[in-house]
C-alpha cells in the first residue's frame, strides 16, 4: 500500500495468530444424549415413549431426528467440567450454581466450574476437547461457539432442545428473546444456549442535556450532532481552560463502537453465501465516517487521554460516551465520588431513520464433543442453568440484559437502561468476526486521524481488501 494506506498496526497480528492456532487445533433438568437409535433388542426391552406434541423452536430445523431410547442410569455419577473466562462475581456465582446442582440433581452428576482467566486464553487453547483433563462444556462468547461449531469442536444442540420431555421446555425456549438465539447459530445449527448478554450504547448525561435545552435523548443522528455540539460550545465557554475543546462525544475506536455507528447509518455488513462474509465498502458506511469526521472538525467530538471515560463523564467533560452495561456500576460510583447528582441514562445509538439501535452480544453455553455420557450430563446441567431462576442469579452478577421477555425483574441497572430492549439487534457473531474486528478498529482510528477527504473515502475499500487477504490465509 502507498503512503496513504490505512494504519493497520501489527498489535493485532499476534493476537490473530493465536486465535487461528487455537481454534484449528419428564426428567428434572432435561436430557438428550448423543443420538444412538435403538436396535431390536432395545425395542423389546423398553416401551416406546408416548410422543409429546411440542411447538417447534423458530430456528430449529423442521425435521427432527428420531427420538432415542434413553437409559438414565448410564449417566449416574458422571463428572463434567465447565470452562469459562470470568473472575469476580460471575465466577463466584458459577461456582455456587455448580455446587448446588451437584448436591441437588437426582443423577449424582458432579460439576466443577473452572475459570481459564480470560477470553483470549479460552480462544487460544489448542486441542480443547482432546487434551489432558479436557472440559466438557463451556460458557464462551457466541463468536467462539460459532467458530467451534464450524470446526466441529462443539456439538449441535437442536435435537437436544426439542426432544419430547427431555429437551428444553417451550416455556424456557419461548422466554428467551429471539435476538439472543440468532447469535448462536452456524450452518443452520444451534451450537449455543444463551446465558449472558450485554448491549452497546451511549452513556448519556440527562441532567446536563436538560440544562442545555434538550428534554429527550437524541433518536436521530442530526439530533445527536446538535446536542453534542451544544455541550462542546458550553465547555468552550468554561472558565477552566482544561475543559475547552471537550464536551461533545468522547471518541472511542473499538470495533463494537465502529460497527454500531455503521449500523446506525443503515449498513448491513454481514453477507451470506459470499467468499468474504463482511463487506464495509457501502454508501451507508461512508456516510457514517463522513458524519463523524465532520463532527470532529466542528469540535463536537474529541479524543481523550484518560483511558477511563467515567471520570470525564462525571466531571462533565463529555455529554455522552460509548459503553456497555458492565460500565454502569462504575459510572455511578464515579459520580458519587465527585459528589455529582446528575441523572443519566444508557441509551441506544441514534440512527438516520430515527429508530435507535443497540447491538447486543454475550456468552452462551456449548458442549464439546466427548463421550455420550459426558455430553448427556453436560446437557442436563445446561438445561438446569437455563431455568429463569438460575438465569436471573447469573445475570445479576454480570449486570447484563435479562434473557427472558416475561421476566418483570428489577435489576441493579434497570433505572438506567429504560427501553433498551426494544432497540436490540444482534452484534456480529459469525466466525469471521474474529478476523474482522481488529483491522476494523485500526480503520476506525483512521477516521479521526486523517488529513484529507481523499484519505477518508479510501478507508473502506482498503479495509475490505485487507479482510479478503486475511480470510484467505490458512
Read off the pLDDT of residues 281-323 as tens digits, 9 standing for 90 and up.
999 999 999 999 999 999 999 999 998 999 999 999 999 999 9
Q: Other C-beta atoms within 10 Å of 162: how many?
A: 23
Q: Where are the alpha helices (DSSP H) in 386-420?
A: 388-398, 414-417
Q: What is the mean pLDDT of the chain?
A: 84
> For residues 71 and 73, what is the distance between their CA atoms, to the nearest angstrom?
5
What is the rounded CA–CA span in Å between residue 461 and residue 76? Answer: 57
Cell numbers standing for residue 66: 428420531
Q: Beta-strand (E) ranges in 329-399?
A: 344-347, 358-367
Q: Higher-confidence residue: 58 or 280?
A: 280
Please name every residue paired with 111 in a beta bridge, in sequence order, or none if there are none: 80
Return the pLDDT at 31. 37
The whole-angstrom separation of Cα 68 and Cα 163 is 9
* Whether pLDDT at 280 is above 60: yes
pLDDT at 209: 98
**Residue 64 binned pLDDT confidence (cut-offs 50, 70, 90):** low
Average pLDDT over residues 168-183: 89
Residue with cell 434473557: 403
At residue 36, the pLDDT reads 36
The residue assigned the cell 462504575 is 330
Average confidence (pLDDT) over 452-469: 91
Q: Check whether 44 has a pLDDT greater than 50.
A: no
25-198+362-414 carries CATH number 3.40.190.10? yes
Q: What is the pLDDT of residue 24?
A: 39
User: Does the pLDDT value for residue 118 go beyond 50?
Assistant: yes
Residue ranges matching CATH 3.40.190.10 in the chain: 25-198+362-414, 199-359+429-472
Contact 43, 384 (CB under 8 A): no
Specify the DSSP class assigned to residue 26. -
Asked whether 379 and 107 are in contact (CB, 8 A), the reply is: no
**Has residue 412 got a pLDDT over 90?**
no
Q: Tell whether the model's pLDDT for residue 2 goes beyond 80.
A: no
pLDDT band at 26 (very low <50, low <70, confident <90, very high): very low
The grid coordinates listed for 208 are 446536563
Assess if CATH 3.40.190.10 describes domain 199-359+429-472: yes
Amino acid at each position: 500500500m502507498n503512503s496513504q494506506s490505512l494504519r493497520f498496526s501489527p498489535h493485532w497480528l499476534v493476537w490473530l495468530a493465536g486465535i487461528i492456532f487455537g481454534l484449528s487445533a419428564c426428567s428434572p433438568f432435561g436430557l438428550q444424549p448423543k443420538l444412538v437409535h435403538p436396535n431390536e433388542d432395545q425395542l423389546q426391552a423398553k416401551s416406546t415413549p408416548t410422543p409429546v406434541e411440542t411447538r417447534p423452536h423458530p430456528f430449529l430445523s423442521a425435521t427432527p431426528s428420531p427420538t432415542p431410547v434413553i437409559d438414565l442410569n448410564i449417566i449416574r455419577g458422571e463428572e463434567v467440567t465447565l470452562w469459562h473466562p470470568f473472575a469476580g462475581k460471575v465466577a463466584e456465582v458459577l461456582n455456587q450454581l455448580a455446587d448446588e446442582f451437584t448436591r441437588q440433581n437426582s443423577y449424582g452428576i458432579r460439576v466443577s466450574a473452572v475459570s481459564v482467566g480470560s477470553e483470549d486464553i479460552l480462544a487460544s487453547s489448542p486441542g480443547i476437547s482432546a487434551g489432558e483433563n479436557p472440559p466438557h462444556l463451556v460458557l464462551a462468547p457466541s463468536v467462539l461457539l460459532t467458530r467451534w461449531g464450524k470446526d466441529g469442536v462443539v456439538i449441535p444442540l437442536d435435537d437436544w432442545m426439542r426432544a419430547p420431555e427431555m429437551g428444553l421446555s417451550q416455556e424456557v425456549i419461548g422466554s428467551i428473546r429471539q435476538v439472543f438465539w440468532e447469535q448462536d447459530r452456524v450452518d443452520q445449527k444451534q451450537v449455543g444456549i444463551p446465558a449472558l448478554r450485554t448491549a452497546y450504547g451511549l452513556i448519556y448525561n440527562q441532567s446536563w442535556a436538560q440544562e442545555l435545552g434538550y428534554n429527550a435523548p437524541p433518536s436521530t443522528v442530526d439530533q445527536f450532532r446538535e446536542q453534542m455540539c451544544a455541550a462542546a460550545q458550553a465547555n468552550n465557554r468554561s472558565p477552566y481552560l482544561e475543559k475547552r475543546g471537550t464536551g461533545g462525544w468522547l471518541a472511542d475506536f473499538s470495533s463494537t463502537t465502529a460497527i454500531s455507528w455503521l449500523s446506525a447509518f443503515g449498513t448491513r455488513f454481514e453477507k451470506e453465501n459470499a467468499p468474504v462474509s463482511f463487506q464495509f465498502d457501502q454508501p451507508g458506511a461512508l456516510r457514517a465516517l463522513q458524519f463523524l469526521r465532520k463532527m470532529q472538525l466542528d469540535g463536537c467530538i474529541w479524543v481523550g487521554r484518560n483511558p477511563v471515560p467515567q471520570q470525564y463523564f462525571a466531571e462533565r467533560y463529555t455529554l455522552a460516551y460509548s459503553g456497555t452495561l458492565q460500565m454502569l456500576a462504575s459510572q455511578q460510583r464515579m459520580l458519587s465520588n465527585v459528589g455529582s447528582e446528575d441523572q443519566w441514562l444508557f441509551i441506544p445509538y441514534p440512527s438516520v431513520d430515527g429508530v435507535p439501535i443497540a447491538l447486543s452480544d454475550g456468552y452462551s453455553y456449548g458442549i464439546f464433543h466427548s463421550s455420550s455420557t459426558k455430553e448427556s450430563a453436560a446437557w442436563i446441567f445446561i438445561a438446569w442453568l437455563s431455568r429463569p431462576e438460575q438465569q436471573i442469579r447469573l445475570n445479576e452478577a454480570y449486570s447484563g440484559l435479562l434473557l427472558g421477555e416475561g421476566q418483570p425483574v428489577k435489576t441493579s441497572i434497570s433505572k438506567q437502561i429504560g427501553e433498551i430492549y426494544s432497540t436490540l439487534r444482534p452484534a456480529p457473531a459469525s466466525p469471521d468476526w474474529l478476523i474482522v474486528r481488529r483491522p476494523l478498529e485500526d480503520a476506525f482510528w483512521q477516521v479521526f486521524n486523517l488529513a484529507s477527504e481523499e484519505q477518508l473515502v479510501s478507508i473502506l475499500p482498503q479495509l475490505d481488501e485487507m479482510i479478503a487477504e486475511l480470510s484467505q490465509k490458512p
